[in-house]
Structure 1
């Protein structure tokens, strides 16, 4: 609408399990593991984490042992996401939420894993290696022709990579999936050279109550979006991204003639937690 052009970069189609931006963020860590002669990966995430499943799949494909510290006490029945990760060979360890916030590795982990041969991959792939991998997203055909690139933001790793690879004058906008996470800008800047610090632009008004929270309005939008475009989304990240893009466009944020690229970062694992029939896809 309003004289602008919009397209979706379907990174969700790259791989059924190593989906979207996870494919790119993990590349840096996989290269690091190879360079350092590591034979295993240890990472962190929640019960419905796209990153956990992607790491398990990448390790299985490359012959690397994988393990993960999962936020919260061990449930009676693990989520389908964790069951799938375990089926791929990932060893799961559970941590109290207090311990998880400190990113403490439970002692029993090192009774089963060798620290010297295990590479630690931060939650969501956050870090210089993850951002360097995310720069590869900009190799997509036609990237430079877009005036704006919008992406959902969790840890900020992908946003940092997009900014590092952005063309001159290209505006990169992050849509925070978390409520009042105003430390996010600093986390992104920590992965950027000083010359790019002033270009960090994160919108905080589209969280729908916080991380992994949703409302009837968001679910209705996701279903309508799918009817109109055929593009599936999730309520944790990409649903909020598409809602934000639509709202910003209707509010006149983008000048006539703007060309907007929406980054589908893949990973629909969170949708598996919804009651059957909530979504039409």
Structure 2
């Protein structure tokens, strides 16, 4: 069964001793080969609910290199659901074979509907969803990025009793579901720091819908220009981090988070003696697609 797993391990990161800081990474990326990290947590209770309610088909939304699309396709294939992906960007329809994420999802049985970016903005509207039901029949809807109340419930299981010794819990932020779960299961004495991969302040409102505590803050200085934006400095950091710690980071989420954490450590943001736990939310499947983009720009790739 896809949800039979052990708790993940915390691995210490090499830091200069003079900083007096301990940094660990919770290896959620090791939960499953393809349904990894927070996608595993977010899907857990949604899939159980879909199964309990008698659904046979899952429908969700995502972009060209979406970790969520890959995870839903893989999970559906494993436990016997039909899967449908509504993909942002009509121009991608003829490029599936050249896109590692979409090709993987297709190989796992996902059916696609490609829509324009303008139409994609209607993904929450009832009329748009009703039109999709006319085409595909009844389905269990999983939101873009997987975030809903059941997803937050799954993410509340990330922290264990052994993690209560940490002063700071850090995670990358996309749609806000993972950090909401972490906030809810954290100790009031702990500070939860979110590192958004997107520009904008709208995430605060989204997180507040699910979070039950106020011991959190968003660090908004490390998005590198916005979602899926990357430069040579970030690539160099990701490669050096892997060399130093034998931990791979994805360029959209965890790479930016760890870059931010280490930069804040260098700037003495954290008091001496602090213990920091960074959540590795997976997403390593996206490296291949990002490297394709980097090669086209004649930039260094992620190793």
Place the TM-score, normalised by the shorter chain, in its bin.
Answer: over 0.9
How far apart are the structure 1 equivalents of 2:164 and 2:151? 22
2:21 corresponds to 1:4: yes
Q: 1:246 to 1:89 in 2, by over 3 A?
A: same
Residue by residue over 1:50-88, the C-alpha shift from the partner in whole angstroms, topping out at 9 and shown as x without a partner, is 111100111111111111100111422121111111111
Taking the TM superposition and a 5 Å limit, the aligned residue runs for 1:141-180 are: 142-179=162-199
- Using the TM superposition, give the Cα deviation of residue 107 of structure 1 relative to its aligned residue in structure 2, in angstroms: 7.4
Instruction: Give RMSD over aligned pairs.
Output: 1.7
Structure 1: segments with no counterpart, 5+ residues? none
CA contact (8 A) 1:95 1:106 kept: no
1:236 matched residue in structure 2: 252
2:75 matched residue in structure 1: 58
Residue by residue over 1:215-249, the C-alpha shift from the partner in whole angstroms, topping out at 9 and shown as x without a partner, is 11111111111111111111111110110010111
Which of 18, 40, 43 in structure 1 is aligned with 2:57? 40
- Using the TM superposition, give the Cα deviation of residue 192 of structure 1 relative to its aligned residue in structure 2, in angstroms: 2.2
Which of 67, 77, 102 in structure 2 is aligned with 1:82? 102
CA contact (8 A) 2:57 2:140 kept: yes
- Using the TM superposition, give the Cα deviation of residue 200 of structure 1 relative to its aligned residue in structure 2, in angstroms: 3.1
Residue by residue over 1:105-140, the C-alpha shift from the partner in whole angstroms, topping out at 9 and shown as x without a partner, is 47774344222xx1100011111111111111113x
Which of 68, 79, 85 in structure 2 is aligned with 1:68? 85
TM-score (norm 2): 0.86
How far apart are the structure 1 equivalents of 2:168 and 2:224? 23
1:269 matched residue in structure 2: 285
How far apart are the structure 1 equivalents of 2:300 and 2:71? 25
Which of 98, 104, 116 in structure 1 is aligned with 2:118? 98
- Using the TM superposition, give the Cα deviation of residue 280 of structure 1 relative to its aligned residue in structure 2, in angstroms: 5.0
Greater RCO structure (CA 8 Å; 6+ sep): 1
CA contact (8 A) 1:188 1:200 kept: no
2:155 matched residue in structure 1: 134
2:240 corresponds to 1:219: no
1:125 matched residue in structure 2: 146
- 61-70 or 34-43, which moves further after superposition? 34-43
- Using the TM superposition, give the Cα deviation of residue 28 of structure 1 relative to its aligned residue in structure 2, in angstroms: 1.9
Residue by residue over 1:170-217, the C-alpha shift from the partner in whole angstroms, topping out at 9 and shown as x without a partner, is 1110001012x2010110011123xx1x32311111010100001111
2:131 corresponds to 1:113: no
Runs of 4+ deviating beyond 6 Å = none
Residue by residue over 1:26-50, the C-alpha shift from the partner in whole angstroms, topping out at 9 and shown as x without a partner, is 0121122123221111000011111
How far apart are the structure 1 equivalents of 2:217 and 2:153? 19
Structure 2: segments with no counterpart, 5+ residues? 1-15
How far apart are the structure 2 equivalents of 1:94 and 1:27? 26
1:16 matched residue in structure 2: 33
Which of 275, 278, 281 in structure 1 is aligned with 2:300? 278
CA contact (8 A) 2:61 2:86 kept: yes
CA contact (8 A) 2:287 2:302 kept: no
